[in-house]
């Protein structure tokens, strides 16, 4: 469960995302991007770059040193040295990523309730403002996989007669409650597909295979593509893939004092503040 008052830290690894956001959302802005070369093949030829955007949930930067695959993505991707987070909460931040707008423009201020999460996202018409439709109009093949917004369920119909796919996405493989990595459902292009607890059902691996398939199909069609893969990991309850269990024997997580000690009433009689 999300505590809507608790800041969420979302770490993202991007490949040429600045090009996507500036070109697709038709908005001005300043961003400094660094890569292996400032003069990329796409910029020299004027072609449209392919974009793979991986958004993780609660990935702390001090964990990256244990993740060689993430480090490899970082080396081959684009690093933004000048960037801004519009909000540290999960859903307001995700909505800003999808629309390029601030929370006071999107109307998504928290993770649940009338002013937060998927409900507020829909109520304020944000699905029509995402970069998906804009990139489609620009000739891109678009894909979205993994986590959408808090409160979304794969079977949501949104006024239609069957599970719907938001406009702007050629490939849609999105889960609702995927934090446990097993026993979840995916909306696979309008069809709700249940997954169990077999090793091959591990959600992050399922998303990886679907992402690889999407990229291969896009290459065959010879169309530029934009793919967002939004994992539920490493958000708690911290369920590793079967092959990764026991990889760090003896390692312990150091927790700050407030996480291990219950709040107590102050001597002057005032009540503690619970978060």
Other Cβ atoms within 10 Å of 250 Cβ, number = 4
Whether the Cβ atoms of residue 57 and residue 147 lie closer than 8 Å to each other: yes
Which residue of the set 14, 90, 91, 273 is catalytic? 90
5-21: average pLDDT = 34
Task: Output the CA–CA distances (angstroms, integers) from residue 231 to 104, 129, 132, 207, 256, in the order listed.
Answer: 26, 22, 18, 8, 26
pLDDT digits (tens, 9 = 90+) for 99-155: 999 999 999 999 999 999 999 999 999 999 999 999 999 999 999 999 999 999 999
Degrees, nearest 5: CA angle 221-222-226: 90
Per cent of the chain over pLDDT 70 is 76
pLDDT digits (tens, 9 = 90+) for 200-217: 999 999 999 999 999 999
Q: What is the DSSP string of 139-208?
A: T-EEEEEEE--TT--TT--TTSSS----TT-SEEEEESS-TTSSS-EEEETTEEEE--SSGGG-HHHHHH
pLDDT digits (tens, 9 = 90+) for 255-273: 766 655 665 554 554 444 4
Judged against a pLDDT cut of 50, whether residue 17 lies above it is answered with no
Of 37-51, 62-76, 200-214, 246-260, highest mean pLDDT: 200-214
Note the pLDDT of residue 252. Answer: 79
Averaged pLDDT of the chain: 82
Band of pLDDT at residue 233, cut at 50, 70 and 90? very high
Three-class DSSP category at 34: strand
Strands 12-14 vs 141-147: parallel, antiparallel or unpaired: unpaired
Note the pLDDT of residue 15. Answer: 35
Q: pTM value?
A: 0.79
Judged against a pLDDT cut of 50, whether residue 275 lies above it is answered with no
Note the pLDDT of residue 217. Answer: 96
Active-site annotation holds for 25? no
């Amino acid at each position: 469960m999300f505590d809507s008052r608790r800041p969420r830290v979302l770490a993202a690894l991007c490949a040429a995302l600045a090009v996507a956001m500036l070109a697709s959302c038709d908005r001005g802005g300043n961003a400094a991007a660094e890569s292996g070369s400032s003069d990329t093949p796409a910029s020299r030829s004027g072609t449209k770059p392919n974009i793979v955007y991986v958004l993780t949930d609660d990935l702390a930067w001090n964990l990256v040193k244990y993740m060689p695959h993430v480090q490899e993505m970082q080396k081959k991707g684009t690093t933004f040295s000048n960037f801004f987070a519009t909000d540290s909460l999960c859903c307001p931040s995700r909505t800003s990523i999808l629309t390029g707008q601030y929370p006071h423009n999107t109307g998504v201020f928290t993770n649940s309730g009338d002013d937060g999460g998927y409900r507020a996202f829909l109520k304020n018409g944000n699905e029509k403002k995402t970069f998906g439709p804009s990139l489609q109009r620009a000739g891109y093949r678009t894909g979205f996989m993994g986590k959408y917004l808090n409160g979304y369920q794969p079977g949501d119909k949104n006024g239609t007669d069957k599970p719907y796919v938001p406009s702007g996405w050629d490939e849609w493989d999105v889960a609702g409650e995927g934090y446990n990595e097993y026993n979840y459902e995916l909306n696979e292009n309008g069809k709700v597909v249940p997954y169990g607890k077999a090793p091959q059902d591990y959600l992050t691996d399922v998303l990886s295979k679907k992402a690889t398939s999407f990229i291969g199909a896009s290459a065959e069609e010879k169309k530029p593509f934009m793919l967002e893969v939004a994992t539920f990991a490493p958000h708690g309850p911290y369920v590793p893939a079967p092959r990764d269990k026991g990889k760090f024997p003896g390692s312990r997580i150091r927790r700050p004092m407030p996480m291990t000690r219950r709040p107590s009433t102050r001597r002057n009689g005032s009540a503690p503040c619970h978060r």
